[in-house]
Chains A and B, each alone.
Chain A
Amino acid sequence: LAKTTQPISMDSYEGQEVNITCSHNNIATNDYITWYQQFPSQGPRFIIQGYKTKVTNEVASLFIPADRKSSTLSLPRVSLSDTAVYYCLVVFLGSSNTGKLIFGQGTTLQVKP
């Protein structure tokens, strides 16, 4: 069964780029990697999803190396409003094509002025 590991916390300053890495063992070739942002008392909010190499959208980039044993969420020029908990989610598709969904424990990002 796939397991994910993330740093518990990170600090940054406004305007800096932040990179958060998630390690995931035994990920199958057909697994998605997805990242979510969560504010207190709210449900997680989708940020970005990828399969391999690099994916970029209007808010973030996701880097996945060839061995797929990790993924890195990159947030360019963070602001105070990016202070939140960030989770990686691995979707493990078993032989029956049903899904086993595993979240990391989350990385609390604190952005300072």
Chain B
Amino acid sequence: KQEVTQIPAALSVPEGENLVLNCSFTDSAIYNLQWFRQDPGKGLTSLLLIQSSQREQTSGRLNASLDKSSGRSTLYIAASQPGDSATYLCAVVTNDYKLSFGAGTTVTVRA
């Protein structure tokens, strides 16, 4: 069974600092990996999707890397802003196509 772990569980940084969020998974036979953002009590917004054959994806201030062999992904958010405060969830898809989520990292960016 795929286990997804996110470290740290919570992170508080001053505005402008870069954010580094880590995700690890136990079964490296993944189809792809998605990073999501979730605001309190709200839905899931897809941020980046990395295919198993890719090493990284970039969108604006966001960059996600994937090392499938070691079962790790890292989400970098450059020059953080208070509006980046949210919970960030990592999820992997194995060949059964369903998402297995980590517990998330709750980020607070202090103005």
A and B: bona fide binding partners: no
